[in-house]
Amino acid sequence: MKNLILAIILVSSSFGATGKDGEGIFKKRCMSCHTVGKGRMVGPDLKDVHTKYDQDKLYKWIRSSQTIIKGGDPEAIALYEEYFEVMMPDFDFLSDDELGSIIDYIEKQSIDPPPEIASIGAESNNSNAAKVPEVVNTLNSANKRKFVVDPHTSPVYFGAVLTIIFFGVVLWVLLNAIKAIAAEVTMLRNSNE
Ligand code: HEC
């Protein structure tokens, strides 16, 4: 029973823990040009970028890199030139909360990328788009492996626990029904004698 409660808590918390969804925003708005730890694409690899700038500059950069570049920041201009003067679009509509959650996500991915991805990033820092299918495959197999290693949070495990409990209840009901019938039979027998 403890396990069931635990499973319910685990399942509901993994659904509920979105809040400001940094991962979702990153995947929707940034991943077309950036990776975290998988090498450069259209834009730079954002691994550890939270340590490169202070929060104020980072937020300003994401909201409008062009403003910083046009402001004459030499570091920004160099980066802009390095990336063939591809303009990163402005994201001035993102709130501080949303930016914070994106940075949290980048920070988390920087510290703890799945090991296979870290090694691909290391050997292919310069080759980029061509590696994407490989990375996707690695991601898929990493996910599969996680599924095997940690079955306790999986829906299959949850389903199995529910099934076992269900059959337990059915057995208990059947047992009581048999007991009741047995009592009835004994009573009838006694009254017949
Ligand atoms: C259209 C492609 C594109 C998209 C989408 C994009 N970026 Fe960029 N980003 C770039 C390019 C190109 C650069 C390099 C410099 C420049 O041109 O501004 C860059 C640079 C950066 C830098 C500075 C990196 C460094 O090493 O100094 C940060 C931080 C950054 N982007 C964050 C983001 C975030 C967060 C998002 C999503 C909200 C995002 N970018 C979406 C193309 C993009």
Alpha carbon nearest to ligand 1 atom 12, residue: 43
Q: Indicate the range of 48-57, 130-139, 170-179 predicted with least confidence.
A: 130-139
- Ligand 1 site-directed mutation target among 88, 93, 128, most atoms within 8 Å of CB: 88
Does residue 77 or residue 144 have the better pLDDT?
A: 77
Atom of ligand 1 nearest to the CA of 58: 29
CA distance linking residue 30 with residue 23, whole number of Å: 10
Sign of CA dihedral 96, 102, 103, 105: positive
* pTM higher than 0.75: no
115 C-alpha vs ligand 1 centroid, how far in Å? 24
- Tell which wins on pLDDT, 115 or 191: 191
Q: Is the pLDDT of residue 138 over 70?
A: no
- Of 105, 116, 131, 111, nearest to 30 by C-alpha is 105
Structure tokens at 39: 């090498």
Distance 15 CA to ligand 1 centre (A): 29
pLDDT tens by residue, 146-177 = 444 455 667 777 888 899 999 999 999 999 99
Residue, of 139 and 108, whose pLDDT is higher:
108
pLDDT at 191: 85
pLDDT at 125 over 80: no
pLDDT score for 48: 94
pLDDT value of residue 62: 97
The two tokens of residue 167 are 């059959």
pLDDT of residue 120: 53
Q: Quickly count helices (H) and strands (E) in the chain.
A: 10, 0
Q: Which CATH superfamily is domain 19-151 in?
A: Cytochrome c-like domain (1.10.760.10)
Q: Which residue CA neighbors atom 16 of ligand 1 most closely?
A: 80
Q: d(Cα 113, Cα 122) in Å, to the nearest integer?
A: 12
Report yes or no: 10 and 150 within 8 Å, Cβ to Cβ: no
The three-state secondary structure class of 61 is helix
Average pLDDT, the chain: 80
Return the pLDDT at 100: 96
Q: Is pLDDT above 50 for 102?
A: yes
Q: How confident is the model at residue 12 (pLDDT cuts 50, 70, 90)?
A: very low
The pLDDT value given to residue 124: 47
